[in-house]
Amino acid sequence: MNKYLSLVVCGVLVLSSCGGSPVATLSVTSMSFGSQVVGTTVAGQAITLSNTGSARLSIDGIAVALPFTQINTCGSSLAAGATCTITVTFAPTTEGDFTSNVSITDNAKGSPQTVALTGTGVPPPPGCTRIGGVCGPGLPRCCAAPFPHHSFCSNPTGFGTCQEN
């Protein structure tokens, strides 16, 4: 009888250790958002997280630092063979170069899984040159004059002064 009990216990232990393991696979290793005007948001870029393993992937958290943000469809776990999407946006509030990582903490080997992020915040383009200011090639256009007047550069082919009539 002890012989059979030992066989059942060993069989249960072997089966439980043969359950497989999760494998987290990301569709990309890095994302570049290029130059983005301060105060605006780049359309989201998608990362696909796949569980290519043979056991459930437990997701403890998905994090990223500002000015990057993320939303996802992952929930707290992914079944073996399942996928979810992490959408990352970039919204700089100051000028400069930004780097961060999307960090996915889970129960797969190599956790956390990461995707490197880069983006640059650039100043908004110049608005317009006020009436009386210098205008010309490479300079902002003249600001609109109040109705019914209109504004123009006194020298349409070179440098001049913004005027209204």
User: Would residue 163 count as lying in a domain?
Assistant: yes
153 contact partners, CB below 8 Å, separation of at least 6: 135, 136, 142, 160, 161, 162, 163
Within a domain: 4: no
Please tell me the predicted confidence (pLDDT) of residue 18. Answer: 56
Is the domain of 114 the same as that of 157? no
Q: Tell me, what's the pLDDT at 150?
A: 87
For 154, the domain range is: 126-165
- Looking at the fold, whether 47 and 27 belong to one and the same domain comes out as yes
Question: Looking at residue 161, what is its pLDDT?
Answer: 92
Residue at 3 is within a domain: no
pLDDT of residue 12: 40
Element of type H or E holding 2: helix 2-17
Q: Do residues 140 and 60 share a domain?
A: no
- Residues 96, 76 within the same domain: yes
Alpha-carbon gap, residue 141 to 130, rounded angstroms: 9
Q: Is the domain of 57 the same as that of 72?
A: yes
pLDDT of residue 17: 44
Same domain, 116 and 139: no
Q: Are residues 103 and 142 in the same domain?
A: no
pLDDT of residue 145: 74
- Would you say residue 36 lies in a domain? yes
Q: How many domains, in total, are found in the chain? A: 2
Ranges under pLDDT 50 in the chain: 1-17
Q: Is the dihedral of CA 67, 68, 71, 74 positive or negative?
A: negative
Can you give the pLDDT at residue 78?
97
Does the predicted TM-score (pTM) go above 0.75?
no
Are 113 and 94 contained in the same domain? yes
